[in-house]
A and B are shown apart, each in its own frame.
Chain A
Amino acid sequence: MIAEAGLALLWLAAALSLLQLVLGWAALRPGGEAMLRIVRPVAVAQGILVGLAFLTLIWLFLRTDLSVKLVAANSHSLKPWLYKFAGAWGNHEGSMLLWVTVLAVAGGAVALFERRLRQDTLIATLAAQAAIGLGFYAFLLFASNPFQRLTDIPDEGNGLNPLLQDPGLAFHPPTLYFGYVGISIAFSFAVGALVTRDVGPAFARAMRPWVLVAWIFLTLGITAGSYWAYYELGWGGWWFWDPVENASLMPWLAATALLHSVTVLATRAGLRAWTIMLAVVAFSMSMVGTFIVRSGLLTSVHAFAVDPLRGYFILGLLTLYIGGALVLFALRVRHVREGSPFEPVSREGALVANNLLLSVVLGLVFVGTLYPKLAEALGWSVSVGASYFNLVTAPLVILLVVVMALGPMLRWRSDRLKSVTGRAAAPVLLSALTLAALILWAPGIGPLPLLGLTVAPGVALASLMPLLGRNLRRTPLFTYGMVIAHLGIAVSLAGMAADSAFTQERLIALRPGQSTQVGGGFTVRFKAVQPVVGPNWTAVEAELEISRNGGAPFTLRPDARRFFQPPMDTSESSIQTLWDGQFYAALGQSDELGRWQFRLWWKPFVTLIWLGGVMIAFGGLLSLVGRLRRERRGRKIAKGKAKAVPDAVVESHA
């Protein structure tokens, strides 16, 4: 019964999204004003219904209802409850349901909370969101039904891919999806504004918080995913340039560009058409990513199902939506008024540079990700790996962070380079000193890590400069947000560069009782191996005692795990975080001489990578709160004035 209820909820939600689209369209026709009031509640109801359908699926997984095909194929009664719960989205159908849930809930949230947008633009936005939803409901209901029943009920389920049996599964996919699919709001806003020809600063101010929310989640989701891959996959790397990772990075790059261009539009009424374009591109990248991940085109932890039909379905949907939005853009772009002019050397100029660089990086990642697939279609086998991505993106990223450091020092509209030289002097000096120190004390670092290590401290200092000479208590919260986010970029960059410059790796086979040295002053003693039993796995666990320069030792216990349902071997790394980095140990196989393979790393300051990611997201959060607070205060003042003075005066203020 419960599965049928879930399916019914999903059909109802699909019907409501059709209603939302039709009503929205009717409301925008002349004489359709009567429909205006119904569209909002319909959107909210749609969000609630899909949310309930999603809870239903979680309930089925928690109860391990094996009569449901999806549960039988992906769950197991012996699995710990957390993985039963999170396992609901650890498969193709469940993750698509989560996708659609986020889409509908985001639409519902806009209907519920958005009060600044012009009424007709809001209706058009909700209609656009419903149109996207409709396609993906069809995909769920016709090609990926999560509630399908089995006639032969098995005695036990097939279990969840052991690589996914990690607490990270409970956090990473939902966070990522909130960002990834949440950016659909920007897409719908853009479509809505094109339909009603409402591209202006007021529109940008309304759109900005939504973009920020999605961007914060996306940043957190990518950061969490990176850390998860780092400790789970046991390769010691934190970013593999896997197509699946790129699928989340591309929307992030576009959303970051959008976040900055929407600020130009909100404050200076510039970059109108460009902002709309970016909003379309950002969600298009999410859909392309969904296509890459969900089409079964590639084999990875994320590709659950290999069904080419599903791939074509998503390809059809994304062609329809991206194509539709681009056609609308082409038809309406001449109605988008030209923005206010500005000089090349100005805050706008720096933001344009930021946008161009981000777009170029996005393009390079896009080409590198899709080129092998394209080549495959032409009959060649080509793989594009980390060496390509690092080579082409790293120099641009360095340039990007330099622009990021200088931009906030410039004034809007027009400035002179001379005016920044004073403030830029200290950061440049700091970078120069760092470079000198590195060449003197740490020779032999590769050019890119050296560049990163040189630039990072200067950029960190420069990102604090906007606070210089200001009354810190009266500085608005969103300025702090920007400072912390930019500082986070510098921190993250420092972590990446330090990791690739200073990592010490030791690959060795040891017998119990033997010791080895790892660069950085570490002595590792392999004490023993012992068998360990978990709820649905058995393992051999090695005990390593590690001390640094003869100091107090700590213990690491990496293990090699064998899961029984599904049968699979995984290697669980063990990590000790010290103040200046992480010590990472992974266990390999044993040989006939009684030796065990170990992979040991000392990774100085690697933690900065994720600390930076969290700082970036936190900066976004401060910025969001700051903007919303200022707006509320602005409204209160406007209200107060409205009581005291005639309306005409208020108009001129607005």
Chain B
Amino acid sequence: MKRKNQRLILLLLAIGAVLGAVLLGMWGMRSQASFFYAPGDIAREGRPLPDRPVRVGGMVRGAIARMADGVTVEFVIGDNTPNTIRARYTGITPELFRTGSGVIADGHFVANPARGGVEFVASNILAKHDENYMPPELTQRGMHKTDAVR
């Protein structure tokens, strides 16, 4: 191979690799990046498609109901709008997950006629170790600790 060509070919390869990476990354983002929804956002923008990974957040409203198996909880997420999200989680919940606390959960929406049509199945509840912590997604939406009490 000629010397001149070599650098050119390497350069083209590198550009090709970068382009490929960008395309792969964009495709991955489109299908996998999860957008954040507070209850009010869903009322405004509509519910995301089922099975699409999303992150929801807000305040735990009312009692956290523990199911008979001892490891599944059902709870309601509210925010500073009248809207709520019904959610379910199977697993060990973080210590600071209780009525009135801020909560952020990853998961997806599924149809569940028994619980009023649709519910959010959380695969992970983000552990926060500080009682006064408010997720930035919530403070951006103008929520404060006091909103939990309403």
Most chain A CB within 10 A, of B20, B22, B34, B93, is at B34
Size of interface on A: residues with Cβ below 8 Å to B: 47
| Contact indicator A385/B106 (Cβ below 8 Å) | yes
| Contact indicator B29/A363 (Cβ below 8 Å) | no
Whether a CB of chain B sits under 8 angstroms from the CB of A507 is: yes
- If A363-B21, A385-B106 touch, whether A599 touches B92 (CB-CB below 8 Å) is yes
- If A364-B28, A382-B33, A593-B70 touch, whether A352 touches B18 (CB-CB below 8 Å) is no
Q: B-facing mask of A316-348, CB < 8 A → 1, else 0?
A: 000000000000000000000010011110000
State the Cβ distance, B149 to closest chain A Cβ, in Å: 23
SS of A interface (majority): mixed
Whether a CB of chain B sits under 8 angstroms from the CB of A591 is: yes
| Contact indicator B25/A368 (Cβ below 8 Å) | yes
Complex CA gap A344/B9 in Å reads 10
Chain B residues numbered 1-40 whose CB sits less than 8 Å from any CB in chain A: 1-3, 6-7, 10, 13-14, 17-18, 20-22, 24-25, 27-29, 31-36
Complex CA gap A299/B102 in Å reads 15
- If A382-B33, A392-B24, A589-B93 touch, whether A341 touches B6 (CB-CB below 8 Å) is yes
State the Cβ distance, A301 to closest chain B Cβ, in Å: 8
Complex CA gap A163/B18 in Å reads 39
Complex CA gap A396/B7 in Å reads 24
Q: Which residues of A contact B93 (CB under 8 A)?
A: 588-589
Q: Which residues of B contact A376 (CB under 8 A)?
A: 136
| Contact indicator B129/A383 (Cβ below 8 Å) | no
Complex CA gap A586/B71 in Å reads 13
Q: Which residues of A contact B18 (CB under 8 A)?
A: 360, 363
Complex CA gap A376/B139 in Å reads 13
Most chain A CB within 10 A, of B2, B10, B92, B106, is at B92
| Contact indicator B33/A508 (Cβ below 8 Å) | no
- If A356-B13, A597-B70 touch, whether A381 touches B90 (CB-CB below 8 Å) is no
| Contact indicator A341/B28 (Cβ below 8 Å) | no
Chain A residues numbered 368-402 whose CB sits less than 8 Å from any CB in chain B: 368, 371-372, 376, 380-385, 387-388, 391-392, 396
CB nearest neighbor in A for B71: A507
State the Cβ distance, A218 to closest chain B Cβ, in Å: 23
Most chain B CB within 10 A, of A163, A364, A371, A392, is at A392
Complex CA gap A338/B7 in Å reads 8
Q: A-facing mask of B77-109, CB < 8 A → 1, else 0?
A: 000000000000011110100000000001000
Q: Which residues of B contact A593 (CB under 8 A)?
A: 70
Q: Which residues of A contact B55 (CB under 8 A)?
A: 381, 383
Q: Which residues of A contact B14 (CB under 8 A)?
A: 356, 359
Whether a CB of chain A sits under 8 angstroms from the CB of B137 is: yes
Complex CA gap A343/B32 in Å reads 39
Q: Which residues of B contact A415 (CB under 8 A)?
A: none
Size of interface on B: residues with Cβ below 8 Å to A: 42
| Contact indicator A388/B28 (Cβ below 8 Å) | yes
- If A364-B25, A368-B25, A508-B71 touch, whether A385 touches B91 (CB-CB below 8 Å) is no
| Contact indicator B21/A509 (Cβ below 8 Å) | no
State the Cβ distance, A352 to closest chain B Cβ, in Å: 7
Most chain B CB within 10 A, of A274, A341, A595, is at A341
| Contact indicator A388/B32 (Cβ below 8 Å) | yes
Q: Which residues of A contact B28 (CB under 8 A)?
A: 364, 368, 388, 391-392
Chain A residues numbered 538-588 whose CB sits less than 8 Å from any CB in chain B: 568-569, 571, 586, 588
| Contact indicator A371/B29 (Cβ below 8 Å) | yes
Q: Which residues of A contact B3 (CB under 8 A)?
A: 338, 341
Q: Which residues of B contact A426 (CB under 8 A)?
A: none
Q: B-facing mask of A637-650, CB < 8 A → 1, else 0?
A: 00000000000000
| Contact indicator B70/A509 (Cβ below 8 Å) | yes
| Contact indicator B53/A589 (Cβ below 8 Å) | no
Q: A343, A356, A380: which contacts B1 (Cβ < 8 A)? A: A343
| Contact indicator A356/B140 (Cβ below 8 Å) | no
Which B residues lie at the A interface, using CB under 8 A? Answer: 1-3, 6-7, 10, 13-14, 17-18, 20-22, 24-25, 27-29, 31-36, 53, 55, 66, 69-71, 90-93, 95, 106, 128-129, 133, 136-137, 140
Which A residues lie at the B interface, using CB under 8 A? Answer: 161, 163, 234, 274, 299, 338, 341-344, 352, 356-357, 359-360, 363-364, 367-368, 371-372, 376, 380-385, 387-388, 391-392, 396, 507-509, 568-569, 571, 586, 588-589, 591, 593, 595, 597, 599
List the 5 shortest-distance A-B pairs measured between CB atoms, nearest first: A509-B70, A381-B36, A588-B92, A388-B32, A392-B28
List 10 additional A-B contacts (Cβ < 8 Å) besides A161-B129, A589-B92. Answer: A299-B133, A338-B3, A341-B6, A359-B14, A383-B34, A388-B29, A507-B71, A588-B92, A588-B93, A597-B92
